[in-house]
Amino acid sequence: MPAIKGNKFVIVGGASLLGSNIGRHLLDAGAGEVVLLDNLSLGSASAVDDLIADERCSFLRGDMLRMNELFDPFDGAAGVFNVAGFLGGPMLANPWMGLDVNIRGIQNVLEAARVQGVEKVIFSSSMGVYGKITDHPCTEDAPFDWNGVGPVLALYSGSKIVGEGLCQLYHQEHGLGYAALRYSNLYGENQHTRAIDGTRVVNAWKRIRDGQPPVIEGDGTNVTDFIYIGDVARANLMAMEANANGAYNIVSGQDTSFNELIDALLAACGSDLTPEFQVDAAKVANPTVNRLNVSVAKAKAELGWAPEVDIREGMRRLVVWLDAERAAGRM
């Protein structure tokens, strides 16, 4: 599968939290050309300012829902990273557009990739494809259990399952290489507030920096899996180069309770504030669980990937970035 060094790559959704980080990794790894394609409906051009300063990198305003806008940028590309997608917040605000982007969008990308002879497409999927996780450890074979999952998450997760199905179909029918990467909650440089748990972290940081105690919903024992954005960008490059096709969990594999998360955030902020607990069941939008145990064994075996940055170091890096944004008047 295509080597990164010297080749051309397109990132669809290149102005996103993840797309901008993949762009940085591609340039650092010696890619010959990197095209960041985005319609800026959610992402921000400022996220890629530093990338386009490199002459190998360009930004192209384009809409993946218009297939004709993909043909020229895909010409000569060895691989495409399909990062664009509507997360929970945008999906709630506009489910029609969200389903279009998450389903028709990847369909257009796959078709344009086939026509232009692209070797491999890496699709940004989600751990949401499991719905409520009841299998421990949760491997890639676990079923989608959406019993009790709210409607927005059900639509989001369902759209990712369809996206993965389309990737499988293009692989089977046309030999197009693919990997569907199932992420847990992303956090890190270029953090936004479009995902539920990422928003909780940013809100807690804001309160800490305003001298107020961070708020924990419930008793804080609810766990989730957080994965540092640099680890995920690295997984995208490794999946592109790997001689393997399929779906992979790209997660930390560590269950982190909200109490532990806020503890790491307070430490990263150098704060001795004590969190406040707020019990409001109506506010809890993700299924509440106290065990996830998502497996990274398949990604380790087939892609050679493993997470490297733990939650305390990751929170430290996030706080450095958030503080710099605040100092620049952007947060």
Ligand X SMILES: NC(=O)c1ccc[n+]([C@@H]2O[C@H](COP(=O)([O-])OP(=O)(O)OC[C@H]3O[C@@H](n4cnc5c(N)ncnc54)[C@H](O)[C@@H]3O)[C@@H](O)[C@H]2O)c1
Interacting residue ranges for ligand X, rule: CB under 6 A: 13, 15-18, 38-43, 63-65, 83-85, 87, 101, 105, 124, 126, 183, 185-186, 192, 194-195, 198
Which is it for strands 215-217 and 185-187: parallel, antiparallel or unpaired?
unpaired
Token match 């064994």: residue? Answer: 297
Shortest distance (Å) from residue 92 CB to ligand X: 13
Question: Between helices 17-28 and 229-241, what is the axis angle to 10°?
Answer: 60
Nearer to ligand X, 84 or 133 (CB): 84
Shortest distance (Å) from residue 329 CB to ligand X: 21
Token match 């945008």: residue? Answer: 90
Nearer to ligand X, 72 or 219 (CB): 72
Instruction: Give the separation between CA 179 and CA 192, rounded to whole angstroms.
Output: 25
Shortest distance (Å) from residue 183 CB to ligand X: 4
Instruction: Give the separation between CA 172 and CA 165, rounded to whole angstroms.
Output: 10
Shortest distance (Å) from residue 319 CB to ligand X: 18
- DSSP labels, 235-286: HHHHHHHSS--EEEEES----EEHHHHHHHHHHHHT-----EEE--GGG--S
Instruction: Give the separation between CA 169 and CA 229, rounded to whole angstroms.
Output: 29
Shortest distance (Å) from residue 163 CB to ligand X: 9
Nearer to ligand X, 273 or 317 (CB): 317
Shortest distance (Å) from residue 308 CB to ligand X: 18
Q: How far is CA 186 from the centre of its chain?
A: 5
Residue pair 294/253 in contact by the 8 Å Cβ criterion:
yes
Nearer to ligand X, 186 or 216 (CB): 186
Which is it for strands 177-183 and 120-126: parallel, antiparallel or unpaired?
parallel
Residue pair 221/10 in contact by the 8 Å Cβ criterion:
no
- Sign, CA dihedral 156-11-311-163, equals positive
Nearer to ligand X, 30 or 151 (CB): 151
Nearer to ligand X, 7 or 39 (CB): 39
Shortest distance (Å) from residue 211 CB to ligand X: 28
Nearer to ligand X, 7 or 82 (CB): 82
Nearest residue to the partner ligand X, using Cβ: 43
Q: How far is CA 70 from the centre of its chain?
A: 21
Nearer to ligand X, 213 or 317 (CB): 317
In b/e form, how buried is each residue of 66-83, taking b as 16+ CB within 10 angstroms? Answer: ebebbeebbeebbbbbbb
Shortest distance (Å) from residue 17 CB to ligand X: 3
